[in-house]
Structure 1
């Protein structure tokens, strides 16, 4: 087994570390965190490794995973590069928003660099470990690094998907659209129903079949085929009345409604 040292003892680092340890893919050598307690919790969850709080004390390894926040990737990489030889090692981070170019300090030190972004929520690491198989991971970086990381991901049931590093931020925004902003739009629907006198718990039940069927249709037919409603029918008189009424009720939600009309019209044109 190749030795893996982990920088960052958060949910992502702990879950991936445990998956690789349990599968016998990597020998987890060490876990670096900001506090001794956090490092110890990471090691306890993974079931292997030495807890450390200083980059210089992190055991040397063949592969280094930087599972830290985006703003800590560059300084963490720099600390790693100045604390040990990296010639021939693999250094990768798990950010969805930054490309592997953020690891320039490691590359300059002779490492092969990459990024691996699992496309799922890590709010519950135990649940992630139990149901990780089938998870897609956006990957990009140097060919030598990906040639070793891709089989390691596949060994824990992941599905690596190569992405364009130049479009990494747009790639990450796609996940925001598919997850975060979807919740925001549903919240607008729930609040609008409540404004019409419908209790929140009932509003959720009204939204459930509409949202679930729409999602099912998107994944079955594609977005254009799944589109319905007044814009899809070309009923812009209704659209204008709705936007005016929503704006009168809540200006911010009215702005959201109006911002969604042009891209929905473009989608309707694709459907036709």
Structure 2
């Protein structure tokens, strides 16, 4: 994994646009396609799309914003339309783009997308390229979108994407479990979010500033076995389906405490 220099420049990829930014065709009218098309336009790019699979997009580069399982077939449908063809998958290798016949690149903004975003500033972005020019294109797109590009090799994409899922998707799963347990205390879901939200934000901020060891607090970190046992009994009573998760999290937190010691 390599964070790329924002000051690096390679003008070769700008040649098709003759002094301007490349035109980009976006395939896929879902949330990712809509968000990236809007963000690229806001960054000054000429964008065709997002278009459905029934129409070939125009542009110097084509960006496939389709489900991972459809990348190969979508790549085949745009064969010969552009020098550069990319996807926005965090986990799929560039080899999936081979049917396009183009120079392949990957551009994966590390952000949840609703389809309405035009500003991706500050988020991470995994990039890759099958050639130096394709990699430079991915880097340029990432920087122009205001993101922080990090090069991720195909061999490491699955681990990178798993880390992203743990940090983002599984956090939602964890908070959903907290909502269910809060229900056992007579706290409804909306009230639970109002109550727990500031705690979650502060915890994440502390993790960002201090790292896991410095951010860790609570009864497990203090070695308060009695409180942990009382919590476990409450979870078993009000949300038994969350008990295995609770036990695994306690074990993982104890391991983190041991590392800190």
Q: 1:266 Cα deviation (Å)?
A: 1.8
* Equivalent position of 2:77 in the other structure: 79
Q: 1:223 Cα deviation (Å)?
A: 1.3
Verify the 8 A CA contact 1:11 1:124 in the aligned structure 2: yes
- Provide Cα deviations, 1:5-35, integer angstroms capped at 9, x if missing partner: 222122322332333334334x33565304x
Q: Take 1:19 and 1:206, find their aligned partners in 2: how far apart are those partners?
A: 34
* Equivalent position of 1:13 in the other structure: 33
Q: Take 1:198 and 1:67, find their aligned partners in 2: how far apart are those partners?
A: 40
Q: May I ask how many residue pairs the two structures share in their alignment?
A: 240
Q: 1:80 Cα deviation (Å)?
A: 2.2
Q: Take 1:199 and 1:31, find their aligned partners in 2: how far apart are those partners?
A: 40
Q: Take 1:31 and 1:214, find their aligned partners in 2: how far apart are those partners?
A: 38
Q: 1:136 Cα deviation (Å)?
A: 1.9
Three-state SS of the structure 2 residue aligned to 1:175 is helix
Relative distance call for 1:140 and 1:208 in structure 2 (3 A) is same
Q: Which runs of 5+ in 1 are unaligned?
A: 35-52
Within the candidate set 160, 171, 174, 1:182 is matched to 171
Verify the 8 A CA contact 1:95 1:116 in the aligned structure 2: yes
Q: Does the alignment pair 1:234 with 2:254?
A: no
Three-state SS of the structure 1 residue aligned to 2:172 is helix
- Provide Cα deviations, 1:157-205, integer angstroms capped at 9, x if missing partner: 2221112322212222222222222122222222222212334444333
Within the candidate set 105, 110, 122, 1:114 is matched to 105
Q: Does the alignment pair 1:28 with 2:76?
A: no
Q: Does the alignment pair 1:95 with 2:109?
A: no
CA-atom RMSD in angstroms: 2.3
List aligned pairs for 1:163-178, cutoff 5 A: 163-178=152-167
* Equivalent position of 2:11 in the other structure: none
Verify the 8 A CA contact 1:244 1:254 in the aligned structure 2: no
Three-state SS of the structure 2 residue aligned to 1:132 is coil
Within the candidate set 107, 117, 122, 1:134 is matched to 122
Relative distance call for 1:4 and 1:195 in structure 2 (3 A) is same
Verify the 8 A CA contact 2:106 2:138 in the aligned structure 1: no
* Equivalent position of 2:9 in the other structure: none
Q: Which has the higher contact order (CA 8 A, sep 6+)?
A: 2
- Provide Cα deviations, 1:225-271, integer angstroms capped at 9, x if missing partner: 11112221233454344324422333211111012122212211222
Relative distance call for 1:76 and 1:237 in structure 2 (3 A) is same
Relative distance call for 1:254 and 1:22 in structure 2 (3 A) is closer
Relative distance call for 1:202 and 1:105 in structure 2 (3 A) is closer
Q: TM-score, normalised by structure 1?
A: 0.78
Relative distance call for 1:200 and 1:229 in structure 2 (3 A) is same
